[in-house]
Structure 1
Amino acid sequence: MGSSEIFFVFLISCCVTLWCPCVTFGRIAEIIDKGSTSCGPSGLIYATLCLSIFHACIYSCFYRSKMRKQYHLEASPCCDCLVHWCCEPCALCQEYRELKNRGFDLDIGWQANMEKKALGGITPPAMEGGMMR
């Protein structure tokens, strides 16, 4: 992947996070939870919390802590909840990039990432038009 492609992926993820953070959060949560929760329900909970009295950063900071524990990441320069409280979109983008840099394709979800990993990172070619005689 060239530097222009990396920039384009980064730009897209930032725009999605800015305008619809529930999508980015849902994708992050599915990978961090190792598929035990899917993107949709996690994103819906996040969106509901955004609309309620409680702020979604309280919910999302727990996932940041969980990710740090899974990958042995340092809590620096401040605690997880403070990072999410001060700049929620920036925190989500940072977590998205961290998982992306660890080889996850957050667009396809946990199960597809595991299948891709089992194949050695090779995705099988798509068949056009289905089965033919």
Structure 2
Amino acid sequence: MSEKGAVGSWSTGLCDCFSDCGNCCLTLCCPCVSFGRIAEIVDQGTTSCCVHGTLFCLLGGFTYFAGIYTCLYRTKIRRQYGIEGHQCTDFLSSCFCSHCAICQEHRELQARGFRVSAGWEGNVQMQTSGVTAAPAVEGGMSR
């Protein structure tokens, strides 16, 4: 069963973790960093990676609360990009396969053109890097 308006699928599978070993190792050792980076991009920089990572760590001390938190962002990614799925599968993968789910979300953002490690601001700067200075005014400025 899929959500209304969904037209696509994830660019990689849930268990394709080893297609990006750097991301896999980071997520295995520090899932709070991986998740924080993803959430910052999904929220378009309204909250920093550090805030999301800290919340992930704080919630991680309680049963499945971190999974619920990451589930919210998995659902946001699916809705933003029209990926098939359901909140129930988002919840199950986020709670019981959290590392694989975070890796898949990272790969999805990469497939969509983001450099996840650069954060939101870094990605915005990369997109606008062609504009380095204001255009020159012929004859200079005068009053």
TM range (shorter): 0.7 to 0.9
More relative contact order, 1 or 2 (CA 8 Å, 6+ apart): 2
**Which residue pairs with 1:126 in the alignment?**
none
Where 1:108 maps in the other structure, the secondary structure is helix
Q: Distance in 1 between matches of 2:125 and 2:19?
A: 22
Q: Distance in 1 between matches of 2:64 and 2:101?
A: 18
Greater radius of gyration (CA): 2
**Which residue pairs with 1:3 in the alignment?**
none
**Which residue pairs with 1:68 in the alignment?**
78
CA drift of 1:9 comes to 8.1
The unaligned stretches of length 5 or more in structure 2 are: 1-16, 132-143
Determine if contact 2:40/2:119 at 8 Å carries over to the other structure: yes
Q: Distance in 2 between matches of 1:26 and 1:9?
A: 21
TM-score by length of 2: 0.73
**Which residue pairs with 2:121 in the alignment?**
111
Which of 53, 56, 59 lines up with 1:43 in the alignment?
53
Letter paired with 1:69 = R
Identity over aligned pairs, percent: 46
Deviations 1:3-44 (CA, angstroms, capped at 9, x unpaired): xxxx99810110110111000000000000000011000000
> In the comparison of the two structures, how many residue pairs are matched?
114
Richer in helix (by share): 1
**Which residue pairs with 2:42 in the alignment?**
32
Where 2:116 maps in the other structure, the secondary structure is coil
**Which residue pairs with 2:140 in the alignment?**
none
Query: What RMSD over aligned residues (CA atoms) do the two structures have, in Å?
Result: 2.2
Aligned runs of 1:1-133 on 2, under 5 Å? 10-75=20-85, 79-119=89-129
TM-score by length of 1: 0.78
